Amino acid sequence: MKVIFACVHNAGRSQMAAAFFNLLADQKKDQAWSAGTEPGQSVHPEVITAMNEIGIDLSKAKPQLLTDKLARRADLLITMGCGEACPYVPGLLRDDWPLSDPKGKSIEEVRKVRDHIRQRVESLLASNQLLRG
């Protein structure tokens, strides 16, 4: 399964989701990317801190634009609570995860978002395994 996790700025939720997916997935079969409709300059510092706490380094991750070329590589687009600004890509299966934006939140709140994202990614991977049999 190839997945794009997308939010507006690609500086928080989608970065965490792609990192968890790529860490937990079968690298021979599955891959994730993150992107945004209006990419920011860098990943939010509070997100980098929260992910570092669990051994995932996002300090070199760069927000990127969700392009048609990137979208064509995926089977599934998961948007992350971006409302009307969420992208629509014809031909891609789509799901929306209504998640709070971690930007400017306390580290405790960012940890809650991080842990919720991990749970959602684990559920996605488990359901994908069931489909494969």
Any catalytic annotation for residue 11? no
Smallest Cα–Cα separation from 7: which of 111, 89, 127, 99? 99
Any catalytic annotation for residue 82? yes
Annotated catalytic residue, options 1, 4, 7, 89: 7
Helix axes 45-52, 107-132, angle to 10 degrees: 70
- From the centroid of its chain, how far is CA 39? 13
Q: Give CA angle at 124 (85, 84), nearest 5°.
A: 10
How far apart CA 117 and CA 27 sit, in angstroms, is 19
Annotated catalytic residue, options 43, 66, 82, 124: 82
Annotated catalytic residue, options 64, 86, 94, 101: 86
Cβ 80 vs Cβ 4: under 8 Å? no
Any catalytic annotation for residue 7? yes
Active site residues: 7, 82, 86
